Structure 1
Amino acid sequence: MFDTMTFTKVIGGFCGTLLVFLLGGWVAETVYHVGGDSHGEGEEHSAYLIEVDEGGEGGGESEEPADFETLWASADAGAGEKVFGKCRACHKLDGSNAVGPHLDGVVGRDVGAVSGFSYSGALSQAADVWTPENLFHFLENPGGYASGTTMSFGGLKSGEDRVNLIAYLENAGG
Structure 2
Amino acid sequence: MFDTMKLTKAVGGVLVAFLFLLLGSWAANALFTIGGGGHGDAEEHAGMSDKPGGLLDEGDAGEEAEAADEPQIVLGTGDAAKGEKVFGKCKACHKVDGSNATGPHLDGVIDRAVAGVDGFAYSDAMAAHGGTWTLEALDAYLTNPKENIPGNKMSFAGLKKPEDRNDVIAYLQSLQ
My pick for the range that moved more, 123-132 or 158-167, is: 123-132
Aligned alpha-carbon RMSD (Å)? 2.5
Residues 114-153 of structure 1: matches in 2 within 5 Å?
114-153=117-156
Q: 1:149 to 1:66 in 2, by over 3 A?
A: farther
- The share of aligned pairs that are identical, in percent, is 49
Q: What is the aligned residue count?
A: 116
Does structure 1 residue 64 correspond to structure 2 residue 64?
no
Equivalent residue for 1:166, pick from 149, 169, 172: 169
Counterpart secondary structure, 2:156 = coil
* Gap runs ≥5 in structure 1: 1-51, 53-58
Q: 1:73 to 1:136 in 2, by over 3 A?
A: closer
Shift >3 Å, 4+ stretches: 59-63, 124-127
State the structure with more CA Rg.
1
Letter in 2 for 1:138: Y
Q: As a proportion of its length, which structure holds more helix? A: 2
Equivalent residue for 1:108, pick from 102, 111, 120: 111
* Gap runs ≥5 in structure 2: 1-39, 41-48, 51-62
TM value normalised by structure 2: 0.59
Question: Residue 125 of structure 1 contacts residue 146 of structure 1 at CA under 8 Å; is this kept in 2?
Answer: no
TM value normalised by structure 1: 0.60
My pick for the range that moved more, 161-170 or 118-127, is: 118-127
Query: What per-residue deviation string (whole Å, max 9, x for no partner) do you get for residues 67-111 of structure 1?
Result: 7x6342641111101110000000000000000000010011001
Could you tell me how far apart the structure 2 residues matched to 1:159 and 1:126 are? 24
Could you tell me how far apart the structure 1 residues matched to 2:143 and 2:84 are? 17
Query: What per-residue deviation string (whole Å, max 9, x for no partner) do you get for residues 6-28 of structure 1?
Result: xxxxxxxxxxxxxxxxxxxxxxx
